[in-house]
Amino acid sequence: MPPRYVAIITDGNGRWAHARGLPALEGHEAGADVVKARLRDAVDLGIEELTVYSFSTENWTRPDQEVAGLMEMFGQRIASETPELNEQGVRMRFIGRTEGVPPDLVEAMHAAEEETANNSRITLFVAFNYGGRAEILDAAQSYAGGGEEAFRENLYAPEMNYPDLLIRTSGEQRLSNYLLWQCAYSEIVFRDEMWPDFQRADLEECLEIYDQRQRRFGGRS
């Protein structure tokens, strides 16, 4: 059975740009185009939820010019692409902390969520200013007991299904503080392509690899 819930660490934008002698921001622009393209493919392939790692709590340590450019780019992308995504039936959700994020960008995220709230073709979760440890810490502050399901209700998006498959591009083989609670039993596929080079055929291959795995969730088959 193909995975219905997929998460991706969209890694390698900066290195892709550097290899071509381009500014880092051009790599991020190229990566954003690929997110949009693979989102369309995900719909075709029967994926119901796609979660992408756009900006981590650790990314603030990057050069100020790159961070400022990323904030501006995200704002422009949300403004220009939300109407189209809404027409295509995409529900948008942003997960992460809002502290430090420009207020106008936070407002744009909330507006996009409201505009697309009733869509059900696919849900696109965008992890922005996100860290897995931060999410668990934030949830713990509100947790009043009751077990795992009660704790889950305090996560940024408690309605998110646990990813069946986690994909990471760029050849790195680590989780990088991404969805630590949600991906406890996700199958993981590491890819060598930089994210801007990640094509539909690569996504299809990841799904085929997943289909060959046997998920036991700690038990025995």
- Which residues are marked as active site? 11, 59
**Contact by Cβ (8 Å): 124, 93:** yes
Count Cβ atoms below 10 Å from residue 79 Cβ, excluding itself: 12
Q: How far apart are CA 14 and CA 170, in angstroms?
A: 10
Q: How far apart are CA 153 and CA 142, in angstroms?
A: 9
Strand, coil or helix: 60: helix
Count Cβ atoms below 10 Å from residue 39 Cβ, excluding itself: 17
First-to-last CA distance in the chain?
Answer: 17
At position 30, the amino acid (one-letter code) is A
Q: Residue 163 has what DSSP assignment?
A: P
